[in-house]
Amino acid sequence: MTETITRVFWSWNPVAVSGLALWIAGILWMMPGGVVTAAKTRIPGLLFTVAGLVLVLSSFGGAIGELSEELMFWVFAIAALLCGTLMITSRNPVYAALWFALATLSTCGLFMLQSAPFLAAATVIVYAGAVIVTFLFVIMLAQQSGAAGYDQTAGGTLPATLASFLLLGAVFYLVNTTAPEVRRVAPLADSLRLTTSAENAVAAGEAAGGGASLQAVPVEEILAQEQRDSEQPAVQPNLLSRATESHPVGSMKGLGRSLFGDYLFAVELAGTILLIACIGAIAVAPRREEGAI
């Protein structure tokens, strides 16, 4: 066990490790009631965090694609991680909830870059709804002036930070060893269809040709790659979820076919579990007298 952990950090390049260290320092600086309790201002912590994030992300390399796409990846990735950090270090519960919402939105931007617009929209619906419920609790329970002492401190800052970064390091290590490069499955232009409206009206083939300037990888190449993948006995994708010219991977139809083709059992199982939870919540909830609100 110890050997594995040491190998994680020794096999890593110094840029990423120093970036992680800076990030840890930033979090500890900004955390209310953290290690640096004497700090009056949070700005050095913020600077540490940003510098650490830049270092960590640069050791990964950006998205493969055009300059604009790469820029968007950088903006969304840094924003997501920074907002996450600010969420856990925020002294005010309302601001924490807002940072959480912003982190979610940035992640949705990353989903968009990965040709998953439906996933992005669904994440906004689900998580924004969840944050609104958080707001409900904040409005009901927390005072606006934030005078309550328990809002101002965090317990066990150092062990918690170190433990979570250990987990993060393990994830990085796994990603680094098992999947050295993440392959784009569908070009951006196909699912977002950044073409003019007239081209939408005409045949799909022409439209696909029209979006050529934004395509990172041609569809044929991906299909050929999938064909090569499927020839190996271990990977046998469902025929339903095979991407075609008219139903690319990122589109709603492609997603639906994949969810209810490849992953039908998992989807049904998740639905059943949610139904059980729903019934349980109704059963557990206290019953009021008739006529009382």
Partner 1 sequence: MFSDMTNPLPELLTTLITIAVVVGAIPGVCNYLILLERKLSAWMQDRIGPNRVGPKGLLQPLADGIKLLLKEEVIPGHVDRILFLLAPGISVFTALLAFAVVPFGPVGEPGVPSFLRFIIAPGIDIGLVFIFSIGSLAVYGVVLGGWASNNKYSALGALRASAQVVSYEIPLGMSVLGIALISGTMNLEQIMMQQIEGGILGWNIWFQPVAAVMFFTASLAEANRLPFDLAECEQELIGGWHTEYSALKWALFFLGEYTHMITISLLTAILFLGGWHFPGIAEAGGEASIISWVIKLGVLLTKALAFICIMIALRWTIPRFRFDQLMELAWRVMIPLSLANLLMVMICKHFEFSLWWLLPGSAGLFAAWGSISASLRAAERASRPGYVKQQQGAATAAAGSAH
Contact residues for partner 1, defined by CB under 8 A: 94, 98, 101, 117-118, 120-122, 124-125, 128-129, 132-133, 135-136, 138-140, 144-145, 191-201, 206, 210-213, 251-252, 290-291, 293
* Dihedral angle over CA of 266, 263, 130, 34, nearest 10: 80
> What does 185-217 look like in DSSP terms, one character per residue?
-S-HHHHH--S-HHHHHS-HHHHHHHGGGG-SS
DSSP state of 146: -
Instruction: Give the span between the Cα atoms of 55 and 42, in whole angstroms.
Output: 20
Instruction: Tell me which long-range contacts 198-205 makes (C-beta under 8 A, separation of at least 24).
Output: 204/245, 204/246, 205/245
Question: At 24, which amino acid appears?
Answer: I
Length of the chain (residues): 293
The DSSP H or E segment spanning 37 is none
